[in-house]
Each structure stands twice: as structure tokens, then as C-alpha cells.
Structure 1
């Protein structure tokens, strides 16, 4: 029987898709016999002991070439505790929905900069595709993202939202991380 792990799930969201991904990860952990301790880095608890946590999953969206400041601050402030456990990083972006290799390289560089800035180096990274939530955008954002989408042959009908997250790929990533985490515990 697989050991039950207690996983610290830290996330920040801007438009809500990363929250949906974090909720999915939490349900996935529970459905597979694990426990998730979830923290929204935008509104973190006053105190939290991570002594009883076996692994860490951090999730954040890429916006304008970086991750949300609350996520960066939280991870940096707790880097010593986080580095003492196996960690996985789930980045969320529209780049992950495409196949432009130069954009993928930039995405990998943005994730590496996050690690350089915070000092937290996960053992594995998954790049999840985000969503276009046209119906929630203000006029300017809707106009700007529609123009970008048009150049990428992505959906441009602003009367609808479009989700690109590959939930099956995320689940396979989580399976691999949960399987491998006990083997790397104590080695990070």
C-alpha cells in the first residue's frame, strides 16, 4: 500500500484558473488517499507549521513575464522549510497551450527566474495551459487578448470563455510526483 502523504499546496491566482487548478490538485490528492494543506499566498495564514508536511506543490500563473508577487514573497519567506521537502511547481500560462518553441523556452526561463528569486528549487515542473476568460475581462484586456489570440490562431469569440488546461496531463504529472516524492525525501 502506498504511504499517505500530507502535501502543502501553495498557490496564487490572478484570473481564477490557477485556483481551479489548485482545487483540482487538492481533490486529486484526497481522491488518491493523500491530504492537502492549501494556502492561498495572497491571503496566507498568520502561522503554519510545515513540520508535518511530506511534500510541497506550488502553483502560479505567468503574467507579464513573472509570477504573482504574493507567491514569490511567500515562497521566499519560507524557502528553508520548503527546500527540506520534495517540491513540484505547476506553472499556468497560455504559452503551455501552444507549440511555439521560443515561447516554451521563455516559459522555462521564467520558471527558472522564480527559483533564482525565491531560492526554492522544485524537483519537477509542470507547465499547465491556462484559460481565456473573455467574459470576465474589461474592454481593454479583452481587446488586447483577442488580438494576441488572433495572431496565434486561438479562439477570438469574446462572448465565450476557453479553457485549455489538460487535466489528464496534470493528473499524470501528479501521479509521477507522488510516486517519486518519498524516494527524494531527505535528499533535497
Structure 2
């Protein structure tokens, strides 16, 4: 049976969108109809979709407020369908913080929101200091220094485990 899958995302620097595009490509290869929308432009009805995937990056310890508002205002619809959440953050670069039950941002998120998705995942993001404005670069360097991450102002490191993304895509197909 064909199902319609919707991906709604929030991406600050583009890595969450890159993950969403990789998932969509994988799903389409398996003949899974899929549509992708930014939280900033999504204004459609959820009724036509059987599976709803929400992906959000972290900036300064929090997920995008529009994502949180969307979940809160569509909670009943999300829980009536197969709904999925994934977080993209740099803390997940550490193996001991790369699962939904161990990632502090995901744990905190689900303590502050009343939604029980069918599936939850977390992916490590990307650091690209040259892409950031002065303030963001300094703040992220400070956070990285505190967490023993890279602080070189020229660092560009993609931590995303693409095999994990692919495995997640298979789970979406099987939902």
C-alpha cells in the first residue's frame, strides 16, 4: 500500500535540509511518495499524509520555536498518524550522546513537549566556521572549546553519519 510521507524541517546552516534531501532521495528510489517543506513555508493540511517526519537542528541549545509551535498545535493529528522526529546537533558527534535517549537536547526537548512520536532519531551535524557570522562563530567556538570540539576558525567538519541516515530512511519505509 502506498503512503504519502511529509517531511517538515528547520535548518539553520543547511545540514538538516541536506539530511532531509538524502532521505527523500532514498524514499523516492523505493517508490515512497514524499514531499519536503521548510517550517517557514509549510501551510498545508496534514490529512493527505500518512507519515509525518519533523527534523530540526539545534542552535544554542534549543530547537526552532516554529517547530515546537507546529508540534503543539498539531499534536492530535501527529499522534493519530505515524509521526517521526529527528534532531540534528553537534553534541551527537560524540558516540555516547548520539542516541535519542542519551542526547541531552533530545531528552530535554521531550521533557518540555507533550508529544509521543512513533520514531525518534538524532544525527550529528556539521561545523563550518567560515559560514557563520562573527557572533555565531565566536559562540560556537566557545561551546566547542567547552565540549572539547574543534575551535579552528577555518574548520569545516561534517559529522553526519550517512549510513545512519540511510538506516533511518529504511525505518521510515517500514513504518
In the alignment, what sits opposite 1:185? none
Structure 1 window deviating more from structure 2 (60-69 vs 120-129): it is: 60-69
1:172 counterpart (155, 161, 167): 167
In the alignment, what sits opposite 1:65? 61
2:45 counterpart (41, 45, 49): 49
Structure 1 window deviating more from structure 2 (130-139 vs 48-57): it is: 48-57
User: Once the 2 structures are TM-superposed, how far is the Cα of residue 170 of structure 1 from its aligned partner?
Assistant: 1.3
Q: What is the TM-score when the length of structure 2 is the normalising length?
A: 0.86
Structure 1 residues 114 and 169, CA, compared in 2 at 3 Å: closer, same or farther?
farther
Root mean square deviation of aligned Cα: 2.1
Structure richer in strand, relative to its length = 2
| Structure with larger Rg | 1
Q: Structure 1 stretches of 5 or more lacking a match? A: 182-188
Report the Cα distance in structure 1 between the residues aligned to 2:7 and 2:128, rounded to whole angstroms. Answer: 24
Q: Structure 2 stretches of 5 or more lacking a match? A: none
Report the Cα distance in structure 2 between the residues aligned to 1:70 and 1:167, rounded to whole angstroms. Answer: 26
In the alignment, what sits opposite 1:5? 3
Report the Cα distance in structure 2 between the residues aligned to 1:76 and 1:144, rounded to whole angstroms. Answer: 29
Contact kept in structure 2, 1:89 and 1:122, CA below 8 Å: yes
Contact kept in structure 1, 2:50 and 2:82, CA below 8 Å: yes
Q: Secondary structure at the match of 1:10?
A: strand
Q: What is the TM-score when the length of structure 1 is the normalising length?
A: 0.80
Matched, 1:110 2:105: no
Q: Secondary structure at the match of 1:62?
A: strand
Q: Secondary structure at the match of 1:135?
A: helix
Matched, 1:148 2:135: no
Q: Map Cα deviations across residues 56-114 of structure 1 (whole Å, 9 max, x no partner).
A: 1110012233210111122222222222111111111011111455x935233223135
Q: Secondary structure at the match of 1:34?
A: coil
